[in-house]
Amino acid sequence: MLYMVEAVHGPETCPGANVDVRQKAMSMGPKMADVAKAHGVILQRTWVSWADHTSYTLADAPGAHAIEDTLDELASR
């Protein structure tokens, strides 16, 4: 089933302006596909609206919990 994941952050936690957040986001990038695959999730495409501090990711997953597990694992790394 396809899911649209909407992620919103504020200006203070924007990877474009906050160096610490940017470094964490950059370190997650290469791991995202492997972590997602381990949970049965296939990341299709991501769009970013810089002005709105929002990203949208289209994901194919067996259920919403698989996406939550993927995001939890990525956030804890």
The pLDDT of residue 39 is: 98
Identify the pLDDT of residue 63. 97
Give the residue among 4, 1, 8, 11 at the shortest CA–CA distance from 46. 4
Contact 60, 44 (CB under 8 A): yes
C-alpha dist (Å) from residue 62 to 38, 50, 76? 12, 29, 22
Of residues 74 and 39, the one with the higher pLDDT is: 39
Tens digit of pLDDT for each residue in 3-36?
999 999 999 999 989 999 999 889 888 899 999 9
Cα–Cα distance measured from residue 74 to residue 52, given in angstroms and rounded to the nearest whole number: 23
Q: In 3-state terms, what secondary structure has residue 62? A: coil
**Cβ atoms 6, 56 nearer than 8 A:** yes
What pLDDT band is residue 75 in, cutting at 50, 70 and 90?
A: confident
What domains appear along the chain, each with residue ranges and CATH number?
2-76 (3.30.70.3090)
pLDDT surpassing 80 at residue 77: no
pLDDT at position 28 is: 87
